[in-house]
């Protein structure tokens, strides 16, 4: 299986970084990262400056891909656009950007969820304008029918 790799110009990367930095200057924003669904980070902003960017990108991509696959397995389509995680001290939102990217935004718990949703929606719209049609390459299926049948067959041999 081949995966199309996103290739951006220096200007596009600088613009994305500037947009995330601007988002990060808003009250209560702790972290923002743009990545692709293979788990690669593209641009980020970190209030603390010491986060494990590569791990966060991989986990956020995995979370979104797992949510998309869960929806598919439950009879829906792979169309989830936003995941909201409410933790004790922060709220994490992971939004789909086109078909192949994600944007994660972490805010303090006192930041209204409505503001966060609106901010991430506007940021996604700006990102789509910057990267253009490259954001619309659909992700590969997380679990194919072939995998499911082979996995089930392997399980049957165990029992």
Going from N- to C-terminal start, the domains of the chain cover: 10-158
Nearest to 64 by CA among 43, 22, 35: 35
Phi then psi for residue 26, to 5 deg, are -75, 150
For 68-105, letters b (16+ CB in 10 Å) and e give: bbeebeeeeebebeebeeeeeebbbbbbbbbebbbbbb
Nearest to 97 by CA among 143, 47, 42, 22: 42
pLDDT tens digits, the chain, 159 residues: what are they?
A: 334 467 888 999 999 999 999 999 999 999 999 999 889 999 999 998 999 999 999 999 999 988 888 888 888 776 788 999 999 999 999 999 998 899 999 999 999 999 999 999 999 999 999 998 878 876 655 556 677 777 777 777 876
What is 10-158's CATH superfamily? Dynein light chain 2a, cytoplasmic (3.30.450.30)
Q: Is the pTM of this model over 0.85?
A: no
């Amino acid at each position: 299986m081949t995966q199309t790799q996103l290739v951006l110009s220096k200007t596009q990367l600088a613009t994305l970084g500037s947009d995330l930095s601007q988002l990060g200057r808003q009250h209560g924003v702790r972290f923002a990262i743009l990545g692709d669904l293979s788990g690669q980070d593209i641009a980020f902003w970190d209030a603390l400056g010491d986060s494990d960017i590569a791990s966060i990108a991989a986990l956020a991509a995995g979370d979104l891909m797992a949510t998309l696959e869960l929806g598919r397995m439950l009879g829906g389509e792979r169309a989830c656009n936003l995941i909201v995680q409410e933790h004790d001290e922060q709220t994490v939102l992971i939004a789909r950007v086109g078909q192949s990217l994600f944007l994660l935004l972490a805010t303090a718990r006192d930041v209204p969820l409505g503001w966060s949703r609106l901010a991430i929606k506007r940021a996604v719209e700006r990102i789509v304008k910057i990267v253009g049609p490259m954001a619309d390459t659909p992700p590969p299926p997380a679990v194919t029918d072939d995998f499911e049948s082979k996995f089930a067959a392997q399980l049957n041999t165990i029992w």
